[in-house]
Amino acid sequence: MTEAKKLFVKTYGCQMNVYDSERMAEALGAQGYEQVDTAEAADMILLNTCHIREKAAEKLYSDLGRLRPLREARPDLKIGVAGCVAQAEGEEIMRRMPIVDLVVGPQTYHRLPKMMEAVARGEKALDTDFPEEDKFAHLPKDRRAKRGPTAFLTVQEGCDKFCSFCVVPYTRGAEVSRPVERLLREARDLVERGVREITLLGQNVNAYHGPGPEGGEWGLARLVRALAGIEGLDRIRYTTSHPNDMEDDLIAAHGDCGKLMPYLHLPVQSGSDRILKAMNRKHTAEAYVRLIERIRAARPDLVLSGDFIVGFPGETEADFEATLALVREVGYGSAFTFKYSARPGTPAAERAPVDPAEADDRLQRLQALIAEQQRATQAGMVGRTVQVLFEKAGREPGQIAGKSEYLHAVHVDGPEALIGQVAAVEVVESRPNSLAGRLV
């Protein structure tokens, strides 16, 4: 019996990259590859990259530099680069790093098996097209036999918004939604393999308008309701959303669909209308706040998360104060905060930057406010009973850990037999990054 080849995948960035890495591993699994936990044990190394943040390419080249001695010691080792940096800089990666055998973009990784055939012949393989065919239709039909209690499911890709700071429209392409029937089939398959919670993914997931099984298009709310009908699927989440795509039926679903969890990630980026216009966000701060009010009217216990960029070109102290004011008015359970970093090729990259020291100061002040709100949200959970989907053993002997419906990490003393199940937990203590509880 031929020994299985070994595959090591390193994933950078967002949840969609995590999902893509899983699917690439499955595609190569059909070619006889088994995943391993270290690069040293691998016959093939695949780096699945992200291009959203500053110095993404530099990080990739640094990692490739660290792999060079391993490749020199083992000339038969194959190295591939996938994802958004691959899409943006494919030929440059090949030129600068001869140790790379394969470069594949995020829309063409279904072609990996054919590309690996070329690599096996000693050829270099590069594919960063935006093909018309649906890559998911060409991937292996069966997911891995056993799954943990939670899984990602990509339903939408690409972005048509063209925010002036963002490279996604250039690296992921235009907005495309997957057909409903395929998504329902994949979701049922995941549930059969042990999944109890599915997070629907998309660059603008609430822009989902997929072909329905009997013609016409389904929006995200209709898809959520159809998924909620799958027996054994206990929870549904979705991320990441754009305020301009929050349609009325999706807002209503937060109130009337019990399996849709009361947690929403809805980025706003800034509280200043002047900066929002410069970002090409196509909404105002006031419109965002009124939208949050409508969603909370449908689901009063909703916990909200967001994204914020400080130090955007042209941002003044008054603009930043408007962001702080919005944060205070909305109240966030958590948020991702970033100092603006210019992405080559985007309109904002041509503008004069804010003084780095000033941007650093604003980031620290914003993070302090967000941290205060996060602590308050978690403290407000003490004494409440939450529903926890247990995912793994805890750090201490006899502990198990999971996530509440509000996406808070929760640990309790309890049997590992509860892993993969939802159980009621009374929260007894709020800790810096988690909640402690006891089984009810």
- Residues contributing to the annotated binding site for [4Fe-4S] cluster: 14, 50, 84, 159, 163, 166
Please give the single-letter amino acid code of residue 63: D
Q: How far is C-alpha 229 from the chain's CA centre?
A: 24
Rounded CA gap, 370 and 378, in Å? 12
Closest-CA residue to 2 (of 43, 46, 47)? 43
- Structure tokens of 340? 């603006």
Strand order of the β-sheet with 44-49 is 33-35, 5-11, 44-49, 78-83, 102-104, 125-127
Q: Which residue ranges are tagged as binding site?
A: 14, 50, 84, 159, 163, 166
Q: How far is CA 102 from CA 77, 95, 112, 117, 421, in A?
A: 12, 12, 9, 11, 41
Residue in the structure block whose two tokens are 């140790």 = 99
